[in-house]
Amino acid sequence: MKRFFFFLSGFLLCFPLWADEGMWMPNRLTSQDWNKMQSMGLMLLPGQLYDEANPSLYKAVVHFNGGCTGITVSDKGLIFTNHHCGFGAIQSQSDVDHDYLKNGFVARTQEDEIPIPGMYVLYLQNIVDVTRSVLDSLPAGLKEQDRETLIRQRTAAIRNQYRDSLGTDYSITVNAYFAGNEYYANIYKRYSDIRMVFAPPSSVGKFGGETDNWMWPRHTGDFSVFRVYANAGNEPAEYAETNVPYRPEYYAPVSLDGYKEGSFAMVMGFPGSTDRYLSSWGIEKRMKSSNEPRIEVRGVKQDIWQKAMLQSDAVRIKYASKHAGSANYWKNSIGMNRGLARMHVIERKQALENQFAAWVAQDADRQAKYGPVLNLLQGGYTHSMADARTSAYVQESYYNGAEIFQLVRMAQYIHSQKGKVDPDQLFDNIIVPFYKNYEPALDETVFAAMVKMMREHIPATQLPAIFNAIDKKYKGDYARYASDVYKKTNLTSLNLIKAALTNEKQFKKIEKDPAYQLAQSIDELLESLSAAVSDDSYKVSEGKRLFMEGLREMNSGVNYPSDANSTMRLTYGQVDGYRPYDAAWYDYYTTTKGIFEKYDINNPEFNVQPEILDLLRKKDFGRYGNKNGDMNLCFIANLDITGGNSGSPVFDDCGRLTGLAFDGNWEAMSGDIAFETDIQRCIAVDIRYVLYMIDKWGNCGRLLDELTIE
C-alpha cells in the first residue's frame, strides 16, 4: 500500500510528503519507482508505459477539452471520459424536445454522432526539459517582478520556436515545476473535430447530484463517450463531413476481470493544481480569504438557481451545467476547510517551518540564501489578507455572480474590437450563444443578492460611491434596485445590444446603462485591490521558489513530486477501503443494491427512470456482473488525484482499463494542500458498469465491437 520510496528519519516525519502521495511526471520515473510499482504488482515495462518514440500507454490518454482527462479505447478514436466532463456538450445539444440531459443520448450509427463546436482534445507527444534555456544567465540581483517578466519572455520564445517548427496543429505549453525551479515544454497535437457518441441519462451520470458529490459510497455512472475525427491523412482538421475517425498511435484495452482489495491501480491524467508545499500563513489565507467567501456567495446564488430549476424544465436545462460547475468547488471549499482544521495542518506546517529555520541557521551560506524565505512568506500572505478577502467576495459576486455583468464584459470586448473584427460575427459567436442559456428574470433575483453581498463585505473606506447612491435611493431594498436596473437596462435585449455594438451613438446608451455603470465601479475597486496585493504576491512567489529549492537541498535523498499544473502525471497505489471516522469502515466497491437503497422518486437527485430500474432488477448482468450475481458500480483506490483528473483512466497491473476516475472523497478535501494517507481515495466508475449501460440500456453493440475487451 505504501508508495513512498525513501526511509524517513524522525527529523523528516513532519515534512509534507506522505506515504501514498505523488503525482509523478511519467518521463521522470526512476528505477526505484519502477521497482516499487512492480513489487506492488505492475506487469508493464517502462517502455510500455512511456516511450515517446513508440506506441505506449500514455499516448492513449488525452487532455479533454481543457479541464478534464479522457482515454482512447478504440482504433477509431473513441474516447471515454466522465459524464460531468461532457456535461456542457450534452447540455449544448439539449432542448425541451431533445432533452439529452434527462433522457441520455445514443448515436445509433456513425452518421448520428453530433459535432460539438469548440470542443478539442490534446494528445501529448513529448516532454522536453528546457530549464537551462529558461533559468541560465538570469542577471544577479533581479527583483522578483523583473525575474518573472524575463522568464515569461523566454518561455514565450521557446513556445514560438516549437510552433514555427511544428506548425499550427500543435499546442505547446512551457510549464513551471517545483515552484519555478524547473521548466518543461509539453508538446501536444490538437484535434478539434470532436463528436458526441453516447451519454447516459443524468439519473445515471449524475446519480446523487450535489448531495453525493465528493462523497463515498457512490453509485454514479459518471461517463460519456466522444469520438475524435481527423482528415483523410489522419491529421487534425476543423469539422468537415469528409473527416474520418482518428486512428490513434495507441488505445487502451478494457478489462472485465475487475479487482479485489489490494489490487494494483494506476491513474494517468492531467491534474489541475495542488499546493502541497504551501506555508502555514498561506493555508490561513486560503481558508479565510478564498474558501470562506466562495462558500458564502456561491451558496446564496446556487439556492436561487436551484429553486428556479425545480420549477421549470426549460430553466433546468439552461442552468444545469452552470449550477454543477459552481457547486463543485463550493462543496470542495467546505470540505477543505473542515479537513485542514481536523488534520491540524497549520500546526504541521509550522513544525516544518521551524525545522527549515533551524537548518538554515546552521550555515552562513544558507543564511545568506534562505534566511529571508520565511519572512517573505509570512509578510506576503498576512499583509494583504484583508484586501484579498474583500477581493474574493467581490469577484465571486461579480465575475461568478449575476450574469448581466458577463454581458457588460462581452459588450466591452466586442466594442474594443471595432475595426479589427466584424462585430456581427462576434455578436453571433459570443452574445447569441450566451442568450441561449440565459434567463433575465432569474438573473434579476441573483443580481439583487449579489449586490447585497458586495455591500456587506466591502469595507466602508473602500466602498465605491455608487453603493452609497444605491443606499440613499433604495434604503437597502436591493430587490427594488434590481427591478429598476433590469427595467432600464439594454443588456437583456439582443436587438438593443446588437444595435449598440454596430453604432457608436447607440453604444453610448450602453455606457449609461445602470448595470454598465455599476460594473465600471466594481472594476475600479478590483483594480485597486489588485494593486494593493501585487507586491505581496511577488514576495510569496520568491518565498515559495526559494523554500522549494531549500527543501530539496535539505533533504537531497527525498524524491519530492512537483505540484500539479495541468500537465500529465501518473499516480499509483492499490484498491482499498478506509475508515472515515471511529468505529466505521467503508468497503472498496459499491453495487446496484445502493441505487435501490438511495432511490427517491420525490428527489430529482435520486430519482431514476423506471426502465433503468427494471433493467437492474432483472440482474441480467452477464459478463459485467460480479461473482455474487450483482454488478459493481464504483470503486476506490488510494490514488493521488485532484481536479483535472476527472475522466482519467484507472489501469490495472497489465495496463488495462478498469474504470474512470471521477471524484475524491469528502473526508480528504484538504488533499490539494495536505495528503492524508489513511483516508485519501480516488473514486472511479467501474468500466463494467459503463459497458453494461452501453450494451443493455443503449443497445449500442457497434461501440462494444470497437473495443478490445479482455
- Known catalytic residues? 84, 222, 646
Contact 253, 691 (CB under 8 A): no
Coil, strand or helix at 279: coil
Cell of 364: 552562513
Residue 110: partners with Cβ closer than 8 Å, 6 or more residues away: 245
Cell of 562: 512537483
Residue 123, strand partner residues: 62, 189
Contact 567, 173 (CB under 8 A): yes
Identity of residue 350: Q
- Phi/psi for 174 (5° steps) reads -115, 110
Residue 208: partners with Cβ closer than 8 Å, 6 or more residues away: 215, 218, 219, 220, 598, 605, 606
Q: Which residue has the cell 479505447?
A: 73
Cell of 645: 483528473
Contact 196, 86 (CB under 8 A): yes
Q: Is the peptide bond before 253 cis (omega within 30 degrees of 0)?
A: no
Contact 184, 562 (CB under 8 A): no
Question: Strands, E, within 446-536: which ranges?
Answer: none
Q: Which residue has the cell 455599476?
A: 518
Q: Which residue has the cell 434596485?
A: 481
d(CA 636, CA 576): 6
| 3-state helix/strand/coil string of 188-206 | EEEECEEEEEEECCHHHHC
d(CA 414, CA 423): 6
Q: Pick the closest to residue 658 from 649, 667, 668 (CA basis).
A: 649
CA 699, chain centre distance (Å): 32
d(CA 435, CA 318): 10
Exposure of 85 by Cβ count < 10 A (0-12 exposed, 13-18 middle, 19+ buried)?
A: buried
Q: Which residue has the cell 439582443?
A: 494
d(CA 11, CA 355): 8
Identity of residue 99: D
d(CA 523, CA 2): 49
Coil, strand or helix at 3: coil
Question: Strands, E, within 292-403: which ranges?
Answer: none
| Burial annotation 654-685 (CB, 10 A radius, 16+ → b, else e) | bbbbbbbbbbbbbbbbbbbbbbbbbbbbbbbb
Runs of H (alpha helix) within 362-422: 364-370, 373-382, 385-398, 404-416
d(CA 482, CA 491): 13
